[in-house]
Amino acid sequence: METLPHIAPYTGWVYPNETVFEWSVLIAVYPYLTGLVAGAFTVSSLYQVFGFERLKPVAHLALLTSLCFMVFVPTPLLLHLGHPERAFNATLTPHWTSAMAMFGYFASFYVLLLLVEGWFAYRPFIVEQAQKRTDLLGRFYRLLTLGSYDVSAYAMSYDRKWLFALAVIGIPGAHGLHGYVGFMYGSLKSREWWSSDLMPVIFLFSAIISGVALLVVLYVASCKLRKVPVDLACLKGLAYTIWGFIMIAIALEALEFANIVYKGREGVDMIMQYVTGRLLIPYFILQFAVGAITPFLLLSYMIWRGTTGRALIVGVTVSACLVLFSVFMMRWNVVIGGQEISKTGKGLLFYQPTIWGREGIVMAVVLTLAPIGLLWVLAQLFPPWHDHEEPAAAEQSAATAPRPLPA
């Protein structure tokens, strides 16, 4: 039967206002992007704050990745709104009891924090390029210096203090940005699939593993494109991070599902019919079996065997891709799955996404990949590679080293 976009066929007893899905695939992309932002920033903080030296090769890459994806975070929401120009009203005249009203403040604060932290992280490189280049880009770098060309040891120690402070502030900022999305869903009592106290925590841990997995894919791909060897110690550090957090994410998801079943709340029969029927493939098979259990077992095997070399690179990269797929399926199953269960608890609906259009699948794919294009542009202006920093550091060390006395 041919249906109009977003008009869902249904079975059982449903309300008339449920035949149109208010939140489309773009609203599933939105928490997916915010999760990648929070997870990438977590890797940067593990180096800047907690001193994980093995993550140094991806520290600047994580910072740039978090910024690029953060730029596109509001885009799915703006495309979903009928009047996107009214989006600023929630910030200018906020309703303090609404969780959605907090997004404008969280997003603005976090973008500003990423810009300032990125400036401190790249200040030696900016000063070097401003002094060396005479073309148009040289003017651009001289503008970014803000008139400060001091890269002495004292100035660098001062910058490191600022980096540490900003990274510490950014940890609750990044996690709060994504945690509020889970809070918003978990506080909606009108949907049995959403109303859970564990929802914010589940969103947070799945965000961390998705951001780390994204960095694995970007780092390995960048090394292949630049024809430089992959730092296996760094890759192992990222693999251990995914492995540790994915255990918690799987346990929390299982606890949430068991909690729904055990409480026997109103609508639980329809939920059981839903997850064992229509949601069997996207929830149990794709999200858990393929996207979560498989990479967990693969990483566990490689850790147990002490895998190294090419096998480690391939295994960790495949695991990271599966984790990225699993987290997106989790977002899909929450956003779309929650709307497929009727509010009466006695009926099921079916979401039919469109291919083209403002809220179609093509637009969702473009919005997901667009930050990677922005990351490529910024990486040309501000190289995040550790091997790029070493010659400049050697020159600075030689310039500041004490000169021997003449004979």
pLDDT at 7: 53
pLDDT tens profile 80-94: 887 888 888 888 888
Evaluate if residue 407 carries a pLDDT over 50: no
d(C-alpha 11, C-alpha 3), whole Å: 15
**Across-strand partners of 13?**
346
pLDDT at 370: 95
Region 196-214 average pLDDT: 91
Listed by start position, the domains of the chain span 10-394
pLDDT tens profile 307-337: 999 999 999 999 999 999 999 999 999 998 8
Region 207-216 average pLDDT: 95
pLDDT at 144: 94
Region 210-231 average pLDDT: 95
% of the chain residues with pLDDT over 70: 89
Average pLDDT along the chain: 85
pLDDT tens profile 289-311: 999 999 999 999 999 999 999 99
pLDDT tens profile 138-147: 999 999 999 9
Taking a C-beta distance cutoff of 8 angstroms, is the pair 103, 117 a contact? no
pLDDT at 391: 42
Domain at 10-394, CATH class:
mainly alpha
pLDDT tens profile 251-272: 998 888 887 777 655 556 667 7
